[in-house]
Amino acid sequence: MSRSLWKTLLALVAAVAVLALGACGGDDDESSDQGGTPAQSAGGGNVTEKLFAGTAAENRANPTKGGKKGGTFTILSAGDVDYMDPGKTYYSYAIGVQQAINRGLYGYLPGDTSKPVADLAEGDPEIAEDGKTVTVKIKKGATFSKPVSREITSKDFKYAIERAFTSNVSNGYAGIYFRDLVGAPKEPGKYKEIPGIETPDDNTIVFKLTKGTGAALAGALSMPISVPVPKEFAQKYDKESPSTYGEGHAVYSGPYMVESDASGKATGYVAGKSIHLIRNPDYKNVDDFRPAYFDEIKILAGNEDNSVATRRILSGESMGTGDIEPPASQLKRLLQSNKPELSAVPGGGWRMIALNTSIPPFDDINVRKAVIAGFNRNAARQQRGGEALGPIAQHFIPPGMAGFDESNGINGWADQEDWMANPAGDRKLSAEYFKKAGMASGKYEGDAQLLIVGDGAEPDKSVSQITEQQLNEMGFKTKLRLVERSTMFTKFCGVPKEKVNVCPSVGWLQDFADPQTMIDPTFNGDNILQVGNNNWPQLNVPAVNEKINQSKLVVDPAERAKAWADANHAVVDQAPAIPYMWDYQAIIASPNVRGVQNGYSTWWDLNFSSLR
């Protein structure tokens, strides 16, 4: 080969190397994501909120300003809703659809997730002082769509909740928040009336409970379980196993409905593919907060590649993201170039690396504190998109929820709990805690091999690998097992007998705006289940359990927030896990869309968003 050819080749290789290095260094998230307390890292306050200042997130403050009627909105999503039946719907993406096609007793305005507002209820629920009775007055005049076409009454809400207890509907949370109703079934079975739900007249529903847990029940009335269901229409479909109400036939009470035929068959819903919403011609705007601007909404599944979907949305018209987020790697650029199209809200949840407190070595609180103190939480968060997708979590009540401010907000108790003080990791402090645990070297000295089970898909895979690496640096021997996500939960992390030491891919989202939904299932020792367990650290400290159980009984909102903050503090004191992120949900819409993100469902509010 001639010398000039060699030179040319070398120049090409050098150019490629420079380009590659440039590409690797293009994202400077890492450098801005190091060290200090969460507040210090961004000059104080919530770093994510600051990054999203000036984006469509601000439309939430005044959601109807500039809204225009008309047009078709197309949502690009990766997957389908979990269910179309309001009695089964659980996950936030499906809740966003339910908010458009149905009215429940309570709902959430886009800009305020701290407290639900009355929807078909006339006002706030009246909770008796002992928490054992909850009374809700219902608005008059709202109707069901065809073929039922009659006024909605209290009996329709009663049936909606009763059917949720049947094995054919098998609601995922009725047994949690409604289980204390007088006469509520202890296990799913055939339909039966629940004596604890009374309907003294068409516009009043009364819930009678055996325990003082009325506050949680009242909060859960903001979930789709409180969407009215007409018994005379639905019971035919509820007799099928499982019920086909919603996915097959249904009637609607909201401003939109799934395109349906005369029999009420939802022809506009194709499982796994698409949902076609049209205006509900029988909808009566009875004191509804929904402006419902769009004429038509199309939801299209199968858009797994969020990079392609983002491009389509930004270069197209009248589109928005559904259950997908713009790629984390592009967020920083989008925050520069597409602020009006971008929005983010707290996702109402946290992510953590759970340490199994029930078996060695993490049954020793000093070992747990040592690991948390020495762990670089910034590195874990970076894998999920860094500060643009959420601040470092310091405790277990997320931003925007009652009890967050009472938990000292973004900083938590970092000033009192030194092991939580430095999200970049403090190996000196870590060594001190290892010494307190009897390990003179300042590192873990045991021989046991830790079993780490994580989600094999990115970004959780990287978080798991980072976890393993940092644990190794602290002296632990580890075995990392990466599996499919649902397998991780149903066969490993959710099954105590599997004795998994570390679960690095777990997180939790609110059911509704109440801290009980964040703390009780995840840290109350009374809720440790042999399968389907969500108390992944298997924390079972009687004093903590007692604090949690007492907080459930507090009715007054302000006292309740304080009680849950105290319970939250008690949990953090036990160092059961490495919380590393309060998730924010970022979404994007086309330039001609005035997007309004709903803080509860966390995606575009189909009732408040509009075309420009």
Kindly state whether residue 273 participates in binding another protein, applying the rule CB under 8 A.
yes
Task: Kindly tell me which residue out of 308, 448, 543, 558 binds another protein, with binding defined by CB under 8 A.
Answer: 308
State the Cα–Cα distance between residues 152 and 143, nearest whole angstrom.
5
Residue 302 in the binding site for another protein (CB under 8 A): yes
Q: How far apart are CA 215 and CA 134, in angstroms?
A: 8
Helices (H), 384-531: 427-436, 460-473, 485-487, 516-523
Q: By CB under 8 A, tell whether 76 contacts another protein.
A: yes
- Under the binding rule (CB under 8 A), the answer on residue 534 touching another protein is yes
> Is there a contact between 535 and 523 (Cβ–Cβ < 8 Å)?
yes
User: Among 193, 304, 458, 559, which residue sits at the site for another protein (rule: CB under 8 A)?
Assistant: 304
- The residues that bridge with 74 in the sheet, in sequence order, are 298, 319
ω into residue 521 within 30 of 0, thus cis?
Answer: no
Question: Which residue matches tokens 């009192």?
Answer: 416
Residue selected from 15, 529, 543, 558 as contacting another protein according to rule CB under 8 A = 529
Positions in 213-272 near another protein (CB under 8 A): 241-242, 244, 247, 270-272
What's the closest the beta carbon of residue 165 comes to another protein, in angstroms?
A: 10
Nearer of residues 159 and 492 to another protein, judged by Cβ: 492
Q: Look up tokens 């075995």; give the residue.
A: 479
Cβ proximity of 203 and 154 under 8 Å: yes
- In the bound state with another protein, the residue whose beta carbon lies nearer, of 204 and 533, is 533
Q: With respect to another protein, which residue has the nearer C-beta, 173 or 233?
A: 173
Q: Are 535 and 528 in contact (CB under 8 A)?
A: yes
Give the SS3 label for residue 228: coil
Q: To the nearest whole angstrom, how small is the minimum distance from the Cβ of residue 302 to another protein?
A: 4
H/E element, 509: strand 502-509
- The candidate with the shortest Cα–Cα distance to 234, out of 102, 142, 125, is 102
* Separation between Cα atoms, residue 585 and residue 7, nearest integer Å: 50
DSSP tag of 488: I
CA gyration radius, the chain: 25
Considering only the stretches 16-24, 73-81, 146-154, 556-564, report the one whose residues sit in contact with another protein under the rule CB under 8 A: 73-81
Q: What are phi and psi of 61, to 5 degrees?
A: -70, -30
Determine if 409 is a binding residue for another protein (CB under 8 A). Answer: no
When asked if residue 80 is in the footprint of another protein (CB under 8 A), the reply is yes
The only residue of 199, 478, 527, 549 in contact with another protein, by rule CB under 8 A: 527
Residue 532 interacting with another protein (CB under 8 A): yes
Q: Which is nearer to another protein, 34 or 241 (CB)?
A: 241
- 301 or 606: whose CB is closer to another protein? 301
292 or 334: whose CB is closer to another protein? 334
Q: Is 172 in the site for another protein (CB under 8 A)?
A: yes
Q: Where are the alpha helices (DSSP H) in 196-345?
A: 214-220, 231-238, 306-315, 328-337
Task: Tell the burial category of 91 from Cβ atoms under 10 Å away from its Cβ (0-12, 13-18, 19+).
Answer: middle
Binding flag, residue 333, another protein (CB under 8 A): no
Residues 86-145 that bind another protein (CB under 8 A): 90
* Minimum distance of another protein from residue 247's CB (angstroms): 7
CB of 248 to another protein, least distance (A): 10
Contact, 468 vs 503, CB < 8 A? no
Choose which of 133, 135, 170, 592 interacts with another protein (CB under 8 A): 170
- Total of residues contacting another protein (CB under 8 A): 53
Reduced to 3 states (helix: H, G, I; strand: E, B; else coil), residue 15 is helix
Q: Could you tell me the smallest distance in angstroms from the CB atom of residue 107 to another protein?
A: 21
Q: Which of residues 471-500 bind another protein (CB under 8 A)?
A: 483-484, 486-487, 489-492, 494
Answer yes or no whether residue 424 interacts with another protein by CB under 8 A. no
By beta-carbon proximity to another protein, the closer residue of 170 and 465 is 170
> How many whole angstroms separate alpha carbon 427 and alpha carbon 370?
8
CA-based nearest residue to 343, from 326, 359, 355, 366: 326
Give residue for tokens 């509009």: 610
Which one of residues 2, 4, 336, 530 is an interface residue with another protein (CB under 8 A)? Answer: 530
Start-end of H helices in 553-612: 557-573
> Of the two residues 121 and 334, which places its CB atom closer to another protein in the complex?
334
* Cα–Cα nearest to 247, from 82, 92, 103: 82
User: Residue 312, interface with another protein (CB under 8 A)?
Assistant: yes
Interface residues with another protein (CB under 8 A) are 76, 79-80, 83, 90, 167, 170-173, 175-176, 186-189, 241-242, 244, 247, 270-273, 300, 302-305, 308-309, 311-312, 314-316, 483-484, 486-487, 489-492, 494, 511, 521, 527, 529-532, 534
